[in-house]
Amino acid sequence: MSAAPRRLDVAIVGAGPSALYTAAALARLDDPQVHVNLIERLPVIGGLARSGVAPDHWTRRQVIDAYETLARSSGRLQFFGNVDVGRDITIADLLAHHHAVIHAVGASGSQPLGIPGEDLDGCHASSRFVGWYNGHPDDADLEVRLDHERAVVVGNGNVALDIARILLRADADWDRSDIAPHARAALADSRIREVCVLGRRGPGQAAFTNPELLELAALPDVHLDVDAAELTDAPWTDTGFAATLRRRTLEACARAPATPDRKRLRLRFCVSPVEILGQTRVEGVRLVRNRLAVTDDGRVRAEPLGETEDLPAGLVVHAVGYRAQPPAGLPFDAQAGVVPQWEGRVLRSAHGEVMAGHYVVGWIKRGPRGVIGSNKSCAAQTVRALLDDFAAGRLAAPERPAASFEAFVQSRQPERVCYRGWRAIDRHERAQAQAAQPRRKLSRVDEMLRVARM
């Protein structure tokens, strides 16, 4: 007669892509038999896949639905939504009920520009602006003014291009999206006719990818404006296929004649903002021109020339990278923006001892880079480390029975949302969608809680 499978109780903090990949990997195991509790600050599942993916790219979120289904199919996954680790419960509470805690809290903040005027009305971090048009409860009430003809986006990665595209799309384009209703209404009344996207280095070093660039070039009623001189003056250190396609696309845009009645999207290179202009609200951006220098190891560095230019604008969104917030109770490397770790195990310092029972996955582990699918291999490494530690007896047995965790959480947060409540929210959002919309998102926690109780 074979021995019964060992039981392993794991808490995962967060319910975004990295959390769901991790939960799915654990759910497939038969020995040990893993029981997973998913703890999320909001009443909904999805994390950055729900609130960070552009609303006209909503199909990219579908892989997350598949992994949620896979994790849930084991019958050993419970959801604890509307539970804030650090406010309602602590990481010590979690470890008291589980063998291990996996922190999958992502990187929800934005890197600041660090220049004067950044706090003016009308200057927004990309994380907040993206949350605004995606209906994140923290950002639904963001006051976004679209009453000026020009907006400026600082940074030229894919998030920056998403923001530029969303500011210029025609209202009818949102019929097939899940954009937040309040954002669609505001964009329908927008006076913006031009968006300038600023990159500090040249086109060869821009962080955007070709699919996003080609999508911009194909936007109807929008002229993609590129200065031909900026394409020839800047160094192209990469000669591969992707770089060649990028260069040819930008050269075609530079040759295309402007049409006065079309909106304009300007891709500018070799410029850096040094000040946001205005008294109480944004009135413009002061730029400095950059010279590019190639270092001995092939890197391209931007060096300011001292020539400045004032660019009038009424809205500035800076998209120069995401930044993680220090997780409650864990060590944090503020410079790197991650929790110190070794193969997913949390370290007490960069080269310190392992913090037994605690693991990280996703952006809080490796930094804010990669796409949704990048979390799969990241999760696999963390899961391997956890299972190795369990097999080697390095994980202490929980002090309290696993069965008592639900009642404990309920005593700390009576409005905890279970998986059935999340599914009620999901069904409601889909049912409220019109025509070709995939869903009509709820953007307030009180609305979510009301629907979850139905």
The annotation places the binding site at: 18, 40, 48, 85, 156-159, 200-201, 212, 363, 370-372
Buried b (16+ CB within 10 A) or exposed e, 370-401: eebebbbebbeebbebbbebbeeeebeebeee
Tell me the longest C-alpha to C-alpha distance in the chain.
81
Number of H helices, E strands in the chain: 15, 18
In degrees and rounded to multiples of 5, residue 91 shows phi and psi of -70, -25
What is each CA distance from 311 to 144, 271, 278, 282, in whole angstroms? 19, 11, 12, 11
Running DSSP on this structure, what letter comes out for residue 173? Answer: G
Q: ∠ CA(272), CA(276), CA(282), 5° rounding?
A: 135
Query: What's the 3-state SS for 308-364?
Result: EEEEECCEEEECCCEECCCCCCCCCECCCCECCEECCEEECCCCCCEEEEEEECCHH
Residue 296's contacts (CB-CB under 8 Å, 6 or more residues apart) are none
Q: Which residue has the tokens 């021109």?
A: 289
Q: Cis ω on the peptide bond leading into residue 398 (within 30° of 0)?
A: no
CA distances from 133 to 56, 102, 368 (A): 11, 30, 21
E strand or H helix at 94: helix 91-97
Tokens of 278: 């205005």
Take residue 99 and report the two structure tokens written for it: 């063998």
Mark the binding-site residues for NADP(+), compressed into ranges: 156-159, 200-201, 212, 370
- Cβ pair 278, 284 in contact under 8 A: yes
Look up residue 372 and give its DSSP letter: G
- Residues marked as binding for FAD? 18, 40, 48, 85, 363, 370-372
Q: State how far the Cα of 336 lies from the Cα of 323, in Å rounded to an integer.
A: 9
| The token pair that represents 374 in the structure block | 């990048």
How far is Cα of residue 389 from the mean position of the Cα atoms in its chain? 30
